[in-house]
């Protein structure tokens, strides 16, 4: 039944010693080339969903189907950008990326692997910093290396766990632009966790809204109707900006706390909602409810 590129099905995670699941009965899909953000309060299990998708954690129930195969452990096809950059401090920038490249292509001669790693370091704007150690880099630069490392393995999808939450607002902005640019260049499928409403609106095609844990569910999936060529500078001037923002904030501030499924709500097909009038060409093939 699953035609999605990534298909999350009946996912549940309950930690040992706890009598309530962090989340249960999660269903949603991500299409190829799509950018999906998941948003929700701390403790709703967003990171756990991402970890299961990365293969670093196992669900108590349900499964994730990725590109036609069930996720059973980590894979180079699913690259992760970690919240705390997770660079190896004893390796230079080049070696950090090279470590990933050589993991992907162990048979490559070293010169070829270095050339490949340099290409991705340059892609995130760090050409010239190859010999530096992570400790010599600013927080934003470290996260750029983290992104270069993830992209260098040419994965099928990029999983990002609040990658910019530890950065100051200015750096976060530049890195968001960078991600927009990289994504346009590579057309990667991206799944990202955030708690920043503006970040989700800037980057995501669809935004998955999770209720508060324990027992978190997917309340609805918001389709981002902002034009594709949006940019950070002009985001807040777009006509749909405030309706979408208000919808998201309203959910986070009020509705996520005491979510009671409305009549006709089906966990298997969380409703797709539009904060502003849907536009042609958006959300096509996404709306599971509409398709049936």
Nearer to other proteins, 153 or 176 (CB): 153
Site for other proteins contains 143 (CB under 8 A): no
Sign of CA dihedral 85, 91, 93, 95: negative
Q: How far is the CB of 183 from other proteins (least distance, A)?
A: 19
Q: Are the CB atoms for 163 and 191 separated by under 8 Å?
A: no
CA distance readout (Å), 268 to 29, 82, 152, 278: 10, 29, 35, 23
- In the complex with other proteins, which residue's Cβ is closer, 76 or 284? 76
Write out the two tokens for 30: 């991500």
> Distance of CA 209 to CAs 217, 251, 268, Å?
9, 8, 14
- Do strands 157-161 and 189-194 pair parallel, antiparallel, or not at all (unpaired)? parallel
Contact residue for other proteins among 70, 88, 185, 249 (CB under 8 A): 88
108 is an interface residue for other proteins by CB under 8 A: no
Q: Which stretch binds other proteins (CB under 8 A): 9-17, 50-58, 252-260, 266-274?
A: 50-58
Using rule CB under 8 A, residue 75 touches other proteins: yes
Do 197 and 246 contact (CB within 8 A), yes or no? no
Residue among 4, 78, 116, 206 that touches other proteins (CB under 8 A):
78
Stretches 2-10, 38-46, 53-61, 172-180: which one binds other proteins (CB under 8 A)?
Answer: 53-61
Buried b (16+ CB within 10 A) or exposed e, 176-213: bebbbebbeeeebbbbbbbbbbbbbbbbbbbbbbbbbb
Tell me if 157 contacts other proteins by CB under 8 A: no
Q: Does the CA dihedral 273-277-180-183 come out positive or negative?
A: positive
Q: Using CA atoms, how far apart are residues 47 and 45, in angstroms rounded to an integer?
A: 5
> Does 132 contact other proteins by CB under 8 A?
no
User: 222 is written with which tokens?
Assistant: 């918001």
- When asked if residue 89 is in the footprint of other proteins (CB under 8 A), the reply is yes
Say whether residue 82 binds other proteins (CB under 8 A): yes
**Stretch binding other proteins (CB under 8 A), from 99-107, 193-201, 203-211, 239-247:** 99-107
Q: Contacting other proteins (CB under 8 A), which of 39, 52, 79, 124? A: 79
- Closest separation in Å from C-beta 277 to other proteins: 40
For the record, the structure tokens of 271 come out as 């409703």
Please choose, out of 20-28, 114-122, 129-137, 168-176, the segment that lies near other proteins by the rule CB under 8 A.
129-137
Enumerate binding residues for other proteins (CB under 8 A): 54-56, 73-76, 78-80, 82, 84, 86, 88-91, 99-100, 103-104, 133-135, 153
């Amino acid at each position: 039944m699953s035609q999605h590129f990534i298909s999350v099905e009946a996912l549940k995670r309950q930690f040992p010693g706890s009598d309530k699941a962090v989340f249960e009965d999660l269903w949603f899909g991500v299409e190829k080339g799509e950018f999906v953000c998941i948003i929700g309060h701390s403790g709703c299990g967003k990171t756990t969903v991402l970890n299961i998708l990365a293969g670093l954690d196992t669900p108590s129930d349900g499964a994730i189907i990725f590109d036609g195969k069930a996720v059973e452990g980590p894979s180079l096809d699913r690259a992760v950008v970690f919240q705390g950059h997770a660079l190896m401090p004893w390796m230079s920038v080049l070696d950090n990326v090279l470590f990933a490249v050589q993991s992907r292509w162990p048979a490559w001669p070293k010169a070829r692997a270095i050339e490949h790693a340099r290409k991705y370091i340059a892609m995130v704007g760090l050409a010239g910093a190859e010999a530096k150690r992570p400790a010599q880099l600013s927080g934003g630069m470290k996260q750029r290396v983290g992104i270069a490392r993830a992209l260098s393995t040419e994965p099928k999808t990029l999983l990002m766990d609040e990658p910019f939450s530890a950065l100051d607002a200015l750096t976060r902005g530049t890195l968001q632009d960078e991600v927009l640019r990289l994504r346009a260049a590579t057309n990667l499928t991206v799944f990202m966790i955030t708690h920043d409403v503006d970040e989700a609106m800037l980057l995501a095609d669809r935004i998955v809204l999770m209720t508060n844990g324990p027992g978190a569910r997917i309340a609805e999936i918001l389709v981002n109707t902002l034009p594709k060529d949006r940019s950070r500078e002009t985001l807040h001037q777009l006509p749909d900006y405030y309706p979408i923002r208000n919808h998201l904030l309203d959910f986070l501030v009020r509705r996520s706390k005491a979510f009671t499924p409305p009549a006709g709500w089906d966990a298997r097909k969380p409703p797709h909602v539009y904060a502003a009038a849907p536009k042609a060409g958006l959300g096509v093939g996404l709306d599971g409810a509409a398709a049936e």
